[in-house]
Amino acid sequence: MHLQQVRGYADIMAAHAGAATEAWRDGQEADVEQEMDRLTLSIVTAALFKLDSSAHAETVGETLPALQEIATRQFDRLIQVPEWIPTRENRRQRDLSAKLRGIVMAELLKRRAADAEGNDLLTMMVQASDAETGEGMTDAEICDEVVTLYLAGHETTALTLTYCWYQMARQPAIEARFHDEIDRVLAGRAPRFEDLERLPYTRMVFKEALRLYPPAYFMVRAVAEPFEMGGHRIPAGSVLMTSQFGMHRHPDLWDDPERFDPERFADDAERGWHKFKYFPFGGGPRICIGNQFALVEGPLILASIGQRYRFELLQPDQQVELEPQITLGPKGGLPLRLRQRSTGAGASTE
Ligand code: HEM
């Protein structure tokens, strides 16, 4: 997940983003959240696990959102029904989960049998061994890791992209600056990893969306040892919650915090900030392991799609309503109108 590793995934990211627009039509209304979700899921499938997407994408694309929907319903409930009670929802969850694990397990066995070599995560996990004990990971452990990475690795980025398109649909000046940058730097060709340095405004748009709409908008920690904070004694065993959403919009920390303004990130300004003023990827030992992946993937997708399509609000007063669940999503999705761009529309793979 280091930058050099992620660099190897950049072409897959740009190619999938380009392909995603092939079925789009000028003037069509589309749920942008769903479109972005499908796209980032296909990228995780192809880049991280090198699963044969044509064979698996459909099953993964169906089971994963269905499992997420169930998890969201459970998150909303005050009283949880234990998993072992065979309610209709629990049974469905078990079936979907078994289907997903079936795919991962089949791929896993193939790689074990072939003594596979490669740099995809699944192969790396098959080969990994504990530095002290020499023990490898069990199939069940690998399966858990894969499902976690699938869940953690696509919806967050998809939501951030959705808010980028929404804000650019609302603010023509920001959209124009973005178009100017990608048209000038790429001149119609597909973006590559090396281009990111020359696409600072595109990256600023993505970072500002992560500020105003942090997809992971809260974190929870269990207190291991008692300590004092702000005059309060916090006993061991307490559960503390901190909120990216709250900090990213705090009026003591930000000028006009509710305004979407990529300029805040000019010249990588965030490098000089306190690390918990802006922390969309969390912090400390459990910081997001996919942050480099997301910071490469997001701008590459923006640049790739932005050359071909722009997005329009359905009505001038259209407002997104946020729905804080496991992640911070737009309530009822985010329908926008797709408009094919006349310039730079045919990004080639040159
Ligand atoms: C915009 C995109 C993303 C955002 C905003 C995001 C945010 C976060 C946050 C806040 C955490 C820490 C949660 C906590 O401490 O309680 C986290 C953990 C994690 N993220 Fe991400 N993430 C993103 C993309 C990704 C991607 C692309 C991957 C994988 C490819 C990924 C994999 C993970 C994993 C495995 C963890 C758990 C790490 C651990 O517990 O040690 N994330 N993410």
Per-residue pLDDT reduced to its tens digit, 64-118 = 888 888 888 888 887 888 888 889 999 999 999 888 888 888 888 887 877 666 6
In the numeric block, the tokens 């496991």 are attached to 326
Closest CA to ligand 1's atom 41 = 286
- Does residue 109 lie in a domain region? yes
Is residue 163 very low, low, confident or very high in pLDDT (cuts 50, 70, 90)?
A: very high
Centre of ligand 1 from the C-alpha of residue 44, in Å = 13
| Contact in structure between 339 and 312 (CB atoms under 8 Å) | yes
Residue 242's SS3 state is strand
Report CA(317)–ligand 1 centroid distance (Å). Answer: 33
Say if ligand 1 is within 6 A of residue 294 CB.
Answer: yes
Concatenating the DSSP letter of every residue in 287-329 gives --TTHHHHHHHHHHHHHHHHTTEEEE-SSTT----EEESSSEE
Residues 53-62, mean pLDDT to the nearest whole number = 69
Mutate to test the pocket of ligand 1, among 288, 292, 327 (most ligand atoms within 8 A of CB): 288
Higher pLDDT, 118 or 50: 50
Mean pLDDT computed over every residue of the chain: 90
In a domain, 47, yes or no: yes
Question: What mean pLDDT comes out for the span 259-263?
Answer: 98
Q: What is the pLDDT of residues 167-179, one digit of tens each?
A: 999 999 999 999 9
**Reported confidence tier of residue 349, pLDDT bands at 50, 70, 90:** very low
DSSP string for residues in 111-136: HHHHT---SSHHHHHHH-B-TTT--B
Q: What number is the average pLDDT over the span 239-246?
A: 95
Ligand 1 contact, 281 CB (< 6 A): yes
Total tally of structural domains belonging to the chain: 1
**Model confidence pLDDT, tens digit, residues 199-223:** 999 999 999 999 999 999 999 999 9
Structure confidence at residue 52 (pLDDT)? 60
CATH for 49: 1.10.630.10
What would the two tokens of residue 289 be?
A: 């392991």
Distance (Å) from CA 281 to ligand 1 centroid: 6
Position 165 in a domain: yes
| Residue 266 placed within a domain | no
Distance 20 CA to ligand 1 centre (A): 24
Q: Is 66 exposed, middle or buried (0-12, 13-18, 19+ CB in 10 A)?
A: middle
How much is the average pLDDT of 307-320?
Answer: 97
Question: 157 in ligand 1 pocket by Cβ < 6 Å?
Answer: yes
Residue 223 located in a structural domain: no
Collapsing DSSP states into helix, strand and coil, what is residue 29? strand
CB atoms within 10 A of CB 73: 11
Residues 59, 99 contacting (CB under 8 angstroms): yes
Structural domain contains residue 262: no
Atom of ligand 1 nearest to the CA of 219: 16
Q: What is the domain extent for residue 317? A: 3-215+286-340
- In angstroms, rounded to a whole number, what is the distance separating the alpha carbons of residues 47 and 60? 15
Residue 214 Cα: closest atom of ligand 1: 5
Q: Is the CB of 153 inside a 6 Å radius of any atom of ligand 1? A: yes
Closest ligand 1 atom to 160 CA? 1
Of the pLDDT bands very low, low, confident and very high (cuts 50, 70, 90), residue 347 is very low
Is 96 a domain residue? yes
- Taking the C-alpha atoms of residue 337 and residue 263, their distance in angstroms, rounded to an integer, is 26
Q: Which residues are registered as beta bridge partners of 136?
A: 129
Beta strands in 192-308 (DSSP E): 219-222, 227-229, 232-234, 239-242
Residue 343 has a pLDDT of 59
80 in any annotated domain: yes
In this predicted structure, what is the pLDDT of residue 54? 57
